[in-house]
Amino acid sequence: MNEIIESVPSKDECNLAMLAHLLGIFSGFVGALVLWLVRREESGFVAREAREALNFQITVALALVASIMLKLLLVGFLLFPLVFLANFVFCLLGALAAAKGKPYRYPLSLRLVN
């Protein structure tokens, strides 16, 4: 009786979801957080994608803090650029998927925000 009907997201929703992923490259978790807070009641697709981007950016921030701490053991010097590279690549993949109206799930992301 209570069926959830998924509709195809509009072009504006796809663009906002794509923006949520791309903002992670430039603003860290702040851009995705603002977009999620503003649009979580209006659009399910944008809210899901912004929440996914937010969770990934929080994970990236934690990984960067860990790599800074590990610089004392010389491991962080390798880990720090790898985290930046992974952030760039996965944000682009998320943006491309969102532009097509498909949900994207980041690998190795902590799901802290529900």
Return d(Cα 22, Cα 58) in angstroms, integer: 15
Domain locations in the chain? Answer: 11-99
Quick check: 1 pLDDT over 70? no
C-alpha torsion sign, points 110, 98, 9, 30: positive
pLDDT tens digits, one per residue of 24-76: 999 989 999 999 999 888 888 999 999 999 999 999 999 999 999 888 888 87
Contact predicate 39/50, CB 8 Å? yes
pLDDT of residue 6: 61
Angle in degrees, 0-180, between the axes of helices 11-27 and 44-70, rounded to the nearest 10:
10
Residue 2 has pLDDT above 80, yes or no: no
